[in-house]
Chains A and B, each alone.
Chain A
Amino acid sequence: MQSTFITNITGIRTALLSLMLFCLPAFAGVPTPDIPKGKGDKCVEETDFMRKNHMELILHQRDETVHRGIRTKKHSFKECINCHAVKDDDNVPVDFKNPKHFCNSCHTFAAVKIDCFECHASRPGNDKRGHGKTNDSAMSKH
């Protein structure tokens, strides 16, 4: 019962959000998100479809990858990050803290908080820029 309620709310929110995004030109004078373009000609799915459904694709792929070891690239979160990386003035990909980050550009506008990047790297590559130190101190544990 409660979960249906929550699903409904989420459904309504998604619908409203999509409506907002699709009717952007209609909101004359309302600031609209400046969504950076990804690499290549087009996304792995139609842009309209992605706007509404990217979270479903990522959720599905996450279970496939974690539990079944399926690592196809088409709907992989890592590939989203690689393709949609936004570079700063020094030509370095920005992380999620930066308002210019691809995901941020829309999620901030829509006020939808995501927690993907509490665990996942928000920019391409195996970079250690955020690292304080390696855990060599932990090697003496026990």
Chain B
Amino acid sequence: MSQTDDHTNNDQVDNGHVNNDHVNNYRRKFLGQLAAVTATGALGSGLVLNNFAQARPADEAVSSNVRYGLLIDTSKCGNGCDACVKACNDENGLQGFDRPETDAQWIRTVKLRDKSTNRTVSLPMMCQHCEFPPCVDVCPTGASFKRADGIVLVDKHLCIGCRYCMMACPYKARSFIHEELTGQVQGIPRGKGTVESCTLCVHRVDKGETPACVEACAKDGHKALIFGDLKDASSEIALRISKEASMQVRGDLKLNPGVRYQGI
């Protein structure tokens, strides 16, 4: 099922604290924005406020007032459960070619073992949607980019398949498509010679929905994954990370991933 990565936890917990500053920054910024939103609500129709948590209009560009992220509570992960991986494969039409080393994989289950205690924990690992993404830094074509709302994507029209980003990513989050593909899902373009990784189900998020993995995990009753806007102080994810301990995997790299974990 998984690789055993030996990450010691102490550094990361420390970094959990460092990153609380980020969170506090988000909250401060948010309060400013909230005043603006309330003003709009008062001036315009009451609907503006009601729509606040809903989908952005289709003609409106993504905004950096939002930063999407995931919170993954590993203690809620069902033993051997791979509902999120299956849902991801299905949603995005990821095909296998019986070549496990190279088959596309946007989420994988990773086992972490604390060397000193031998405690192992299994967690889903996908693109961590870093605030300072090394994949973007190294990309020679501008194909790897970070959307204003923090979602890191590959513009496959620009990708030349050099795979620098795959080497730069500390989380092994990216896959390269080696085979010619057919039968792609409409709205999820994928093709030979390009690199890809978790898009946070950007096509669903843009409609105001949650990523497929989050939905599948909740449907299975685990609720180990929650998705939301880290900058919206009233969102479930922001509330949880402001009250409960959470951390970023390899937080010592200071990439400030948008994906946070609990129970590791």
Contacts and interface: CB of A to CB of B under 8 A. Distances in A.
Interface stretch (A1-9, A14-22, A39-47, A127-135): A127-135
A73 B153 contact: no
Contact of A81 (B85, B155, B186): B186
A51 interface: no
Given A66-B153, A72-B58, A119-B190, A137 B183 contact: no
A131 B93 contact: yes
A141 B61 contact: no
B27 interface: no
Contact of A137 (B3, B58, B90, B96): B96
Interface string A77-101: 0100100000000000001000000
Interface residues of B, number: 54
A138 interface: yes
Contact of A131 (B3, B95, B98, B101): B95
A48 B189 CA distance: 28
Given A70-B60, A128-B93, A139 B186 contact: no
Given A125-B186, A133-B95, A141-B101, A66 B108 contact: no
B216 to A, nearest CB: 14
Contacts of A141: 100-101, 103, 105, 108
Interface of A: 62, 64, 66-73, 78, 81, 95, 118-121, 123-142
List 5 tightest A-B contacts by C-beta distance, closest first: A130-B183, A135-B96, A138-B103, A119-B191, A130-B182
